[in-house]
Amino acid sequence: MIGYYVHHVGSGHLHRAQAIAQESRIPVVGLSSLPRPDGWVGEWVRLARDDQGPPDADVTAGGRLHWAPRDDDGLLSRTATLSSWIARRRPRLLVVDVSSEVAVLARLHGVPVVSMVLPGRRCDDAHLLGFGVSSALVAAWPATATEMLPGLPEIVARRVHHVGAISRFGVPSSRRPPIAGRRVTVLLGRGGGAPSAAALHEAQRQSPSWEWTVLGAGADGWRVDPLPALLGADVIVCQAGQNAIAEVAAVRCPAVVIPAERPHDEQRVTARALVAGGWPVRIEETFPASGWSERLEATRLLDGTAWSSWCDGEGVARAVRVLTLLHDRRPAGAVA
């Protein structure tokens, strides 16, 4: 059995976990402060939040960790729950997506760890500690996307398995049939940094020949299945989060990408790598206040099929193969 720790910020970690769990022949147990998602098959362990207590001036333990607030009841509860679950269920592998602290905790219990790696500048002590205790590192982008982990020591970088983008949709067999008019879909994430309603309204006003669909909280509302709106788009506007880029790539649609501010420069690093690799994107530093009609027309002409090298539909299968290999090489009952 495999445990899978799911970080609660955004939706990408959860979507990736769901895709991998559905593909795996080995039972996968979810561990997260998120509620059990619809459609999850198997056990789901709900963890307490550790970010609800009073402010702590030293949550990083002197820069050696990312988040470990002192005297926090939530942190005490979640680590105790994880330890209890490991002792009771004795998993043969724990996937961590993502937390250096959880990776270290699991390894201190003798459980091998596979850490999902996010883009960005991940050279700090806490990241290197989590990477160092992991038996394998998995990156959900292709190896041809260079500089997604700028400055990472070579001894760590060469341990990364590049499996390609992991889309919950796979790669749909076809896009929508041609129809009259132009369509743009705005895909807003849950991690923050979305444009204001006024900015979106102004962009729509500037492009009257385009039909806009805005997906996300505070707009049309969050859609569990955005696939029809993505397949129906001539251009997608999105941030540079891993989940958003994977889904845009899966439907082979050119995109206006506006990286949001994230820790470790995650989305800006991704945006630069997309441009350097020639993927069909137009990068904007911030949500533009003008020029939307021309911007959408220019983006529409980019070759969406170039996304095939970012997301070929095999990312989930490759990730599962990494996990299966590590799981099966350990004798049943082993904890070291």
pLDDT truncated to tens, each residue of the chain (336 aa)?
A: 999 999 999 888 999 999 999 999 999 999 999 999 999 999 999 999 999 999 899 999 999 999 999 999 999 999 999 999 999 999 999 999 999 999 999 999 999 999 999 999 999 999 999 999 999 999 999 999 999 999 999 999 999 999 999 998 888 865 655 556 799 999 987 767 789 999 999 999 999 999 999 997 554 555 667 899 999 999 999 999 999 999 999 999 999 999 999 999 999 999 999 999 999 999 999 999 999 999 999 999 999 999 999 999 999 999 999 999 999 986 555 443
Q: Are residues 232 and 84 both part of a single domain?
A: no
Q: Are residues 138 and 11 both part of a single domain?
A: yes
Q: What is the full DSSP assignment across 215-252?
A: EBTTTTB--S--HHHHHT-SEEEE---HHHHHHHHHTT
Q: What is the full DSSP assignment across 244-255?
A: HHHHHHHTT--E
Decide if 304 is inside a domain.
Answer: yes
Closest CA to 50 of 77, 30, 28: 77
Q: Are residues 224 and 99 both part of a single domain?
A: no
Q: Are residues 130 and 159 both part of a single domain?
A: yes
Decide if 231 is inside a domain.
Answer: yes
Decide if 170 is inside a domain.
Answer: no
Q: Are residues 47 and 69 both part of a single domain?
A: yes
Exposed e or buried b per residue across 288-314, where buried means at least 16 C-beta atoms within 10 angstroms of its C-beta: beeebeebbeebbebebebbebbbebe
Decide if 285 is inside a domain.
Answer: yes
Q: List Cβ neighbours of 125 (8 Å cut-off, separation of 6 or more).
A: 63, 64
Range of the domain at 274: 182-309
Decide if 177 is inside a domain.
Answer: no
Q: Are residues 322 and 305 both part of a single domain?
A: no
Q: Are residues 220 and 76 both part of a single domain?
A: no
Domain holding 298: CATH number? 3.40.50.2000
Instruction: Specify whether the CB–CB gap between 231 and 172 falls below 8 A.
Output: yes
